C-alpha cells in the first residue's frame, strides 16, 4: 500500500538479527519510499545485523529514520544482497557520536522532495577496501542533483571524518551549510565547514557527478567544498563535477582552511579544477594531475598561500585545461608552481618564457623551474629492512641509528637476522633488543628467530661520531636482512645466525702478589712478560681478571713503553694458554712464544714468523707472482693465518688518548690509568678474533682453506683483493679494486643498496649548526613529556615565499596529549602536523615545536622515529630534517651536550626521569679522560686538562630503586681558547732510528708509495699550516721527496704520502718545521726531525735464513720483472732482469736477510 510495508520495525529498542532471510517484502506500491525489510527509528535503538540475506524484496534496503541509533556510536555492516542503508530525511550524526560504515556498505540519500543529507557534527569512519569499497549516493543512484551529499560541520568542536576506498556521487541539491532556499541553491558532493578541531581525510576516494541545472538557472556546484576547515586528500579523484562557467569548481577552498592534496586527480570538471578564495587559506598540491577542466586548472582569487609542487619529487601535471593552467587572479597574491609539467618540455606559455608552448599561466605565478618531461609516479620498492639515521651530524655527536624489519612476504621468515653495518667513523656504544656487536666487522647483529608475515620489529644502535671529522664527509649506515628462505650471495647468513658476542661481564683487579704467583707458576706467560720487558715495555699495575659472558675468565695485563707513545702490549692468560697482542698506530700483531702474525693497516699485508710462518712468505710484496696449484701441507697454523686475515682491524688509531697518557709520556706519572684507558678504548678485538679462529681450526683445519680471493673494504667504494695461492691468502700480491657504480663495499662484498633486503642511509658531517633540523629526546619513559623542536632558516640569497613545515606524528606517540605551539595545526586522520610560515627574508629563520607523551602500554625498548620537512617552494627547495630516534625505557637518563673553552670549568647537571616519581640516584659510570670531574652527582663541574681541546665524554645512568636506565652520555666540547703552550710531536711512524723500513717500488692503495709518514701531535693542529713546507722527507743528500700532505683531525695526525719511492738501504730524515701551528696559533717551539733507514730486499724463499742458489732458481722461475718498472733490480744495466741480476742481488744483499 502507499503506507509502506515493513519486515521488521524497530523503535528505541535493542535488536540483534543474525543469519536471517528477508524476501518477498512489499508490493511495489509506494509514494516516496519503498516498502523495506527493516525500518529503524529512535536515537536509542541499537540494531546489530550479522550474516543476513536480502533478496526479492520490493527494495533490498534498511531505512533509517532521522537520528536513528545516534544516541551512541553505531556501525552499519554489509549484508548479503543488501543494496544499502537509506536515509529517510536529513540525518545528523551528533557531536558525541561516531558513525562507522564497514567495508562494502552503500549509504543512500532520500528521494523526492526530502533532501536527506548526511550531516556529521560528530565523526564519520568509512574505511573500505579495494575489493569492498564504500559508496555514498542517492536513492536512485542514477544522475547528478539527486541528494545533498555529505556535510561535515565542526562548529561544535568535531565534524571530523575519514573516508578510504569510497565514492561520493550524484550530489547537487542544496545542503544545510551552503544554505540556499528550495531548489535554488549551491551544492557539493562533500561539504566541509568549520572543521578546525580535527580533520576530514579522503584517501582512495572518488568525488564525481555533482551538478545542478534546472533548465534556466545554473547554481554554484563543487565536487568538494571546504571553508574554514582542515582537509587532506590522497590518492583520490575529483572528476565530472559541475557544468557552468559561474565559478563552479572541482575543489573549492575558502576562509582559514588548510588543504593538502597529494597523488590525486582533478580532471574533467565542467568548470574550474581548483578555486581558492580569500587571503588566509593554505593549499598544497603534490604529485597530482589537474587536467581537462573546462576553465582554469587552478585559480587563486586572493592572497592565499597556494603551493603547487615546489619539489621535483612531488611534481604535478597541469595541462589541457580550457582556461589558464594557473590563474593568479588576485593582483597582490602569488601562486608558487615550480617543478610542474605544463604539457610541453618548453614550459608554460607566458611572456616571461617566450619559447614556452605549454599550458598558459598568468602573471604572479612562479613557474620556473619546470619539468621537461611528464612526471613519472614514484616506484616504491617494498623493503624487508629499513635503516634510520640522521642525514647530518656534527663531529663528536652521539646518535641512535634505527634498524627495522617488516616481513612483507606471505611466508614466515625462519631464523631471520638483521645486521646494521655501522658508519666507519663512528664508535659503537650500545644497542637495544639483544643486539650483539661484532667489533671485527663493526656491525650489530639481531637474531630474530621466526618472523611471521606482516610482523615488524624495531631496534636501535647508539654510536658516537668521532671528533675532528672533516666537513661534508659522507658515511654510510647499511642495514641488511636475511632468513633461511631469503639468502643472498653478499651475506654470509650462517655466520650471523650463529654469532655470539663475547662480553666482559665484570672486572676484578689483580694484586702484585697474585701476579707474581702467576708468573712463577706459568713459564709461557712469564716468557711473554719478560720479552715485553726486554723490548722496553713496563708493567704499571694495570692487571685485571675478566669474567666473560661464556662463563670463562681470563687475565689481561697491559704494558706501556713511554718512549713509544701509542704502543702497548696486552698479555692474556686463560685455559687455552697465553697470548700477547702488540698494538701500534700503524700495525697490530698477535704472538705466542712460538710464532706470530703482524698485520699492517696501510697496505693490508700480513707478516708471519715461527710456527705461524707461511710457505708463501716473501719480503718483496711488489711483484706479480705466478700461482702454483695444490694445497701442499695445509695445516693448523695455515688455517689460523687465513682466518685471522679476515678478523684483524684494518684502521690505524691515535696514540693520544687521555690526560693520564699525556702525563705518563711526559713525566712517567699516571701510567697505570693511561694503560687501562688505552685498553678499554681498544678492548679485546684481536684476542677475541683469535678465539674464533682457534674454534674454527680446532674443528677442522680444512675450514680455513681458501679457493678464491678475499676482499677487505678500504671504504664504501674501494677494496683490497688478496689472492688465494695453494689454499693460502698471499698478501704480498694485494691489488686495489673498485665496486661497480651504484654499489657499496661491505665486508669485502659489493652490494646493491637498492636491493629490497638492504637499506642505505648517507650521513654527512657538519661543522656548523644545521639550519634545518629537528631536535628531540634520545630516550623517554611512559608518561614523560617529550619536546620536539624543528628549526628552519632561509640560507638563500633572496626571500622565500610559501615556506611551511610538515611532520608526521609517529604512531607510538599519544595524539590525545599533543600540544602544538607556534600556530601549527594537526590533521589527525593522517597524523600530520603543519606550520604555515609564509615569507622568510634571506638569512631569516626560526623554530616551531610541539610536546607529546608516549602512547600508553609501550614496553621498554620500543623505538620511536620522528622527523620533519621544511619546504621552500619558491626557491625551490625541500629540506628534510634529521631523523630523531627515541628509545622508550622504564627509567631514563638524559644525555646532553655542554660547551666550554680551553681551561674554563663548566657546570654539568645530570638529568633523568622515572614515571614512578621516586627519587633518582645518579651513578657516573665513566669519568672524562681529558679533564677533572668534581662535585656530587647530579651537580658536577668539569675542568679541562691543560692544553686540551676537543671532545670529552662522561657516561652515567640513573636508578629509581627498582629499575636502572641505559647509560647516557654527556658530551663535553672544549673549544679552542687563548693559550700559549706550543704543540709537540707525540709519536711518529716510522719511529726514529728504524732500520728495517720496507720499500715499495710501485704505488699501492692510496695512490702514493708506502710507507705513509705520520706525525701525531699533543693537541689539534691548524690544518692550513700542514703543508709540504712544514712537513717533508729528505734523503741523505738533502733531496726532498715529492709528497702530498693531509691532516686527520680525528687522530691529530699529519700525514705525508710519498709520490716517489724510497730506495734500498738508504737513510731518510723527516722534519716538522716551526711553521706548523696549533689551533690557538702557537707555533712549534723548535723544528722536530727523525730518521729511518730502509731495508735490503731479501729473497729467502726457502726459509734458510739467507739467499742462496735455491732461492735464485725459485726467483728466476716464478717472477717476471719488467726493468722499466723495477730498474733498481737491473743491477748490470743490460735492460733485462735475469739470473745475473739475481746473483748480484744475492752477493750484495744476501747477507742482510734475517
Bridge pairing between strands 1031-1035 and 1067-1072: antiparallel
Question: Which tens digit of pLDDT belongs to each residue from 231-289?
Answer: 999 999 999 998 766 678 999 999 999 999 999 999 999 899 999 998 999 999 999 99
Beta sheet of 504-509, edge-to-edge order: 504-509, 538-548, 553-560, 568-574, 577-583, 587-591, 595-600, 606-610
Task: Identify the pLDDT of residue 1154.
Answer: 42
Give pTM, 2 decimals: 0.75
The whole-number pLDDT of residue 172 equals: 84
Q: Do residues 745 and 733 lie in contact, with contact meaning Cβ atoms separated by under 8 Å? A: no
- Cell 624487508 maps to which residue? 384
1133 confidence band (pLDDT: 50, 70, 90) = confident
Q: What percent of the chain shows pLDDT beyond 70? A: 89
Name the band, by pLDDT with cuts 50, 70 and 90, for residue 610. Answer: confident
Q: Is the predicted pLDDT of residue 1151 greater than 50, yes or no?
A: no
| Confidence bin at 7 (pLDDT 50/70/90) | very high
**Mean pLDDT calculated for residue range 716-745:** 85
Question: Which of 550-559, 671-680, 842-851, 1117-1126 is the least confident region?
Answer: 1117-1126
Kindly report, residue by residue over 661-709, the tens digit of the pLDDT.
888 988 889 999 888 888 876 666 777 787 888 888 888 888 888 888 9
pLDDT, position 880: 86
Predicted local distance difference test score (pLDDT) of residue 652: 58
Q: In the structure, what pLDDT confidence band is assigned to residue 440 with cuts at 50, 70 and 90?
A: confident
**1082-1094 confidence digits (pLDDT tens):** 999 999 999 999 9
Mean pLDDT of 420-447: 90
Q: What is the pLDDT of residues 809-826, one digit of tens each?
A: 999 999 999 999 988 989
- Report pLDDT for 29: 62
- Report residue 1114's pLDDT band, with 50, 70 and 90 as the boundaries: low
876 upstream amide cis, omega within 30 of 0: yes
pLDDT at 707: 87
Q: Residue 184 — pLDDT band, cuts 50, 70, 90? A: very low
Question: Which residue ranges form the domains of the chain, and what is each CATH number?
Answer: 1-88 (no CATH), 385-488+756-763 (2.60.40.10), 504-742 (no CATH), 771-881 (2.60.40.1170), 892-975 (2.60.40.10), 985-1094 (2.60.40.1220), 1109-1152 (no CATH)
Convert the pLDDT of each residue in 865-914 to its tens digit.
Answer: 999 999 998 888 888 888 899 999 999 999 999 999 999 999 999 999 99
pLDDT of residue 195: 96
Residue 416 cell numbers, joined: 631471520
Model confidence at 1014: pLDDT above 90: yes
Query: What confidence category does residue 408 fall into, taking pLDDT thresholds of 50, 70 and 90?
Result: confident
pLDDT at 679: 81
**Residue 624 pLDDT level (bands cut at 50, 70, 90):** very low
CA distance 425 to 464: 9
Supply 117's cell numbers: 543529507
CB 743 within 8 A of CB 718: no
What is the residue-averaged pLDDT of the chain?
87
Roughly what angle, to the nearest 10 degrees, separates helices 659-667 and 671-682?
130
The pLDDT-based confidence of 623 (bands split at 50, 70, 90) is very low
pLDDT band at 620 (very low <50, low <70, confident <90, very high): very low
Helix axes 512-521, 523-534, angle to 10 degrees: 110
Mark 962-997 as b/e (b = at least 16 C-beta within 10 Å): ebbbbbbbbbbbbebeebeebbbbbbbbbbeebeeb
DSSP summary character for residue 862: -
Amino acid at each position: 500500500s502507499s503506507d509502506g510495508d515493513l519486515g521488521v520495525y524497530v523503535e528505541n529498542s535493542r535488536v540483534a538479527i543474525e543469519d536471517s532471510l528477508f524476501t518477498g517484502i512489499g508490493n511495489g506500491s509506494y509514494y516516496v519510499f519503498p516498502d523495506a525489510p527493516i525500518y529503524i527509528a529512535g536515537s536509542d535503538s541499537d540494531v546489530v545485523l550479522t550474516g543476513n540475506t536480502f533478496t526479492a524484496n520490493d527494495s533490498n534496503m534498511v531505512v533509517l529514520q532521522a537520528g536513528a541509533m545516534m544516541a551512541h556510536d553505531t556501525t552499519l555492516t554489509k549484508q548479503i544482497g543488501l543494496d544499502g542503508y537509506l536515509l529517510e530525511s536529513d540525518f545528523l550524526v551528533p557531536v558525541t557520536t561516531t558513525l562507522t560504515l564497514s567495508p562494502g556498505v552503500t549509504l543512500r540519500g532520500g528521494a523526492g522532495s526530502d533532501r536527506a543529507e548526511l550531516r556529521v557534527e560528530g565523526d564519520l569512519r568509512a574505511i573500505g577496501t579495494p575489493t569492498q569499497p564504500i559508496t555514498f549516493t542517492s536513492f536512485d543512484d542514477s544522475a547528478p542533483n539527486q541528494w545533498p551529499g555529505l556535510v561535515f560541520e565542526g562548529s561544535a568542536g568535531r565534524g571530523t571524518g575519514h573516508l578510504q576506498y569510497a565514492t561520493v556521487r550524484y550530489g547537487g541539491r542544496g545542503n544545510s551549510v551552503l544554505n540556499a532556499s528550495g531548489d535554488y541553491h549551491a551544492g557539493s558532493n562533500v561539504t566541509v565547514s568549520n572543521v578546525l578541531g580535527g580533520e576530514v581525510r579522503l584517501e582512495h576516494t572518488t568525488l564525481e557527478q555533482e551538478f545542478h541545472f534546472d533548465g534556466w538557472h545554473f547554481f554554484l556546484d563543487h565536487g568538494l567544498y571546504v571553508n574554514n576547515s582542515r582537509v587532506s586528500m590522497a590518492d583520490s579523484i575529483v572528476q565530472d563535477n559541475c557544468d557552468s562557467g559561474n565559478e563552479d569548481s572541482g575543489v573549492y577552498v575558502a576562509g582559514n582552511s588548510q588543504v593538502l592534496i597529494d597523488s590525486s586527480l582533478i580532471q574533467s570538471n565542467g568548470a574550474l579544477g581548483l578555486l581558492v578564495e580569500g587571503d588566509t587559506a593554505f593549499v598544497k598540491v603534490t604529485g597530482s594531475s589537474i587536467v581537462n577542466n573546462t576553465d582554469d586548472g587552478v585559480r587563486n582569487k586572493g592572497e592565499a598561500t597556494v603551493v603547487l609542487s615546489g619539489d621535483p619529487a612531488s611534481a604535478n601535471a597541469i595541462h589541457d585545461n580550457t582556461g589558464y593552467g594557473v590563474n593568479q587572479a588576485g593582483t597582490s597574491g602569488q601562486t608558487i608552481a615550480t617543478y610542474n609539467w605544463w604539457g610541453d618540455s618548453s614550459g608554460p606559455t607566458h611572456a616571461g618564457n617566450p619559447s614556452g608552448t605549454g599550458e598558459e599561466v598568468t602573471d604572479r605565478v612562479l613557474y620556473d623551474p619546470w619539468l621537461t618531461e611528464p612526471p613519472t609516479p614514484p616506484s616504491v620498492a617494498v623493503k624487508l629492512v629499513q635503516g634510520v639515521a640522521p642525514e647530518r651530524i656534527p663531529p663528536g655527536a652521539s646518535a641512535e641509528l634505527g634498524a627495522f624489519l617488516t616481513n612483507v612476504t606471505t611466508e614466515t621468515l625462519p631464523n631471520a637476522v638483521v645486521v646494521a653495518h655501522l658508519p666507519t667513523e663512528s664508535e659503537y656504544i650500545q644497542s637495544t633488543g639483544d643486539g650483539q656487536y661484532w667489533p671485527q666487522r663493526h656491525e650489530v647483529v639481531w637474531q630474530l628467530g621466526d618472523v611471521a608475515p606482516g610482523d615488524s620489529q624495531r631496534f636501535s644502535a647508539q654510536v658516537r661520531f668521532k671528533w675532528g671529522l672533516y666537513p661534508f664527509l659522507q658515511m654510510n649506515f647499511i642495514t641488511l636482512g636475511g632468513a633461511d628462505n631469503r639468502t643472498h650471495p653478499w651475506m654470509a647468513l650462517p655466520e650471523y645466525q650463529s654469532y655470539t658476542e663475547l662480553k666482559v661481564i665484570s672486572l676484578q683487579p689483580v694484586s702484585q702478589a697474585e701476579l707474581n704467583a702467576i708468573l712463577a707458576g706459568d713459564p709461557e706467560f712469564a716468557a711473554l712478560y719478560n720479552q715485553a720487558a726486554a723490548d722496553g715495555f713496563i708493567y704499571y699495575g694495570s692487571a685485571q681478571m675478566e669474567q666473560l659472558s661464556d662463563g670463562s675468565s681470563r687475565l689481561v695485563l697491559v704494558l706501556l713503553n713511554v718512549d713509544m707513545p701509542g704502543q702497548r702490549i696486552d698479555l692474556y692468560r686463560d685455559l687455552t694458554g697465553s697470548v700477547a697482542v702488540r698494538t701500534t698506530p700503524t700495525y697490530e700483531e698477535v704472538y705466542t712464544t712460538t710464532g706470530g702474525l703482524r698485520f699492517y693497516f696501510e697496505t693490508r699485508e700480513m707478516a708471519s714468523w715461527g710456527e705461524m710462518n707461511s710457505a708463501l712468505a716473501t719480503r718483496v710484496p711488489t711483484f706479480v707472482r705466478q700461482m702454483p696449484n695444490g694445497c701442499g701441507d695445509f695445516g693448523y697454523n695455515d688455517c689460523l693465518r687465513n682466518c685471522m686475515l679476515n678478523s684483524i682491524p684494518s684502521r690505524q688509531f691515535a696514540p693520544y688518548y687521555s690526560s693520564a697518557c699525556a702525563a705518563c709520556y711526559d713525566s712517567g706519572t699516571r701510567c697505570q690509568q693511561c694503560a687501562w684507558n688505552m685498553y678499554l678504548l681498544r678492548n679485546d678485538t684481536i684476542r677475541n678474533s683469535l678465539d674464533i679462529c682457534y674454534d674454527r681450526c680446532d674443528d677442522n683445519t680444512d675450514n680455513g682453506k681458501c679457493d678464491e680471493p678475499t676482499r677487505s673494504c678500504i671504504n664504501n667504494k674501494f677494496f683490497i683483493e688478496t689472492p688465494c695461492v695453494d689454499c693460502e691468502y698471499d698478501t704480498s700480491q694485494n691489488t686495489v679494486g673498485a665496486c661497480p657504480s651504484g654499489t657499496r663495499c661491505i665486508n669485502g662484498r659489493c652490494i646493491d643498496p637498492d636491493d629490497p633486503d638492504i637499506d642505505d642511509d648517507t650521513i654527512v658531517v657538519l661543522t656548523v649548526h644545521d639550519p634545518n633540523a629537528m631536535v628531540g629526546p634520545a630516550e623517554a619513559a611512559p608518561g614523560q613529556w617529550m619536546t620536539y623542536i624543528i628549526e628552519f632558516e632561509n640560507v638563500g640569497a633572496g626571500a622565500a615565499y610559501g615556506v611551511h613545515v610538515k611532520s608526521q606524528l609517529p604512531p607510538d606517540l599519544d595524539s590525545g596529549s599533543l600540544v602544538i605551539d607556534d600556530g601549527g595545526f594537526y590533521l589527525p586522520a593522517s597524523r600530520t602536523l603543519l606550520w604555515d610560515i609564509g615569507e622568510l627574508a634571506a638569512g631569516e629563520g626560526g623554530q616551531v615545536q610541539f610536546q607529546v607523551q608516549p602512547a600508553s602500554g609501550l614496553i621498554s625498548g620500543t623505538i620511536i622515529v620522528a622527523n620533519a620537512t621544511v619546504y621552500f617552494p619558491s626557491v625551490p627547495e625541500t629540506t628534510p630534517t634529521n631523523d630523531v630516534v627515541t628509545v622508550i625505557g622504564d627509567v631514563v637518563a638524559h644525555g646532553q651536550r655542554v660547551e666550554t673553552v680551553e681551561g674554563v670549568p663548566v657546570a654539568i647537571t645530570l638529568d633523568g626521569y622515572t614515571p614512578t616519581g621516586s627519587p633518582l640516584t645518579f651513578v657516573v659510570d665513566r669519568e672524562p679522560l681529558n679533564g677533572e670531574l668534581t662535585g656530587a652527582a647530579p651537580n658536577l663541574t668539569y675542568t679541562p686538562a691543560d692544553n686540551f681541546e676537543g671532545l670529552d665524554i662522561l657516561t652515567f645512568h640513573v636508578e629509581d630503586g627498582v629499575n636502572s636506565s641505559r647509560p647516557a652520555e654527556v658530551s663535553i666540547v672544549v673549544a679552542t681558547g687563548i693559550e700559549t703552550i706550543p704543540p709537540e710531536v707525540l709519536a711518529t711512524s716510522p719511529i726514529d732510528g728504524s732500520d728495517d723500513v720496507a720499500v715499495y717500488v710501485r704505488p699501492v692503495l692510496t695512490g702514493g708509495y708506502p710507507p705513509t709518514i705520520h706525525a701525531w701531535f699533543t693537541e689539534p693542529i691548524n690544518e692550513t699550516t700542514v703543508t709540504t713546507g712544514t712537513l717533508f722527507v729528505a734523503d741523505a743528500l738533502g733531496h726532498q721527496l715529492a709528497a702530498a700532505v693531509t691532516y686527520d683531525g680525528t687522530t691529530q695526525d699529519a700525514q705525508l704520502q710519498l709520490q716517489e719511492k724510497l730506495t734500498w738501504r738508504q737513510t731518510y730524515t723527516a722534519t716538522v718545521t716551526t711553521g706548523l701551528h696549533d689551533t690557538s696559533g702557537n707555533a712549534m717551539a723548535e723544528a722536530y726531525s727523525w730518521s729511518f733507514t730502509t731495508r735490503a730486499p731479501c729473497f729467502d724463499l726457502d726459509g734458510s735464513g739467507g739467499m742462496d742458489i735455491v732461492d735464485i732458481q725459485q726467483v728466476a722461475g716464478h717472477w717476471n720483472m719488467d726493468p722499466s718498472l723495477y730498474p733498481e733490480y737491473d743491477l748490470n744495466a743490460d735492460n733485462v732482469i735475469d739470473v745475473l741480476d739475481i746473483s748480484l742481488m744475492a752477493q750484495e744483499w744476501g747477507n742482510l736477510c734475517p
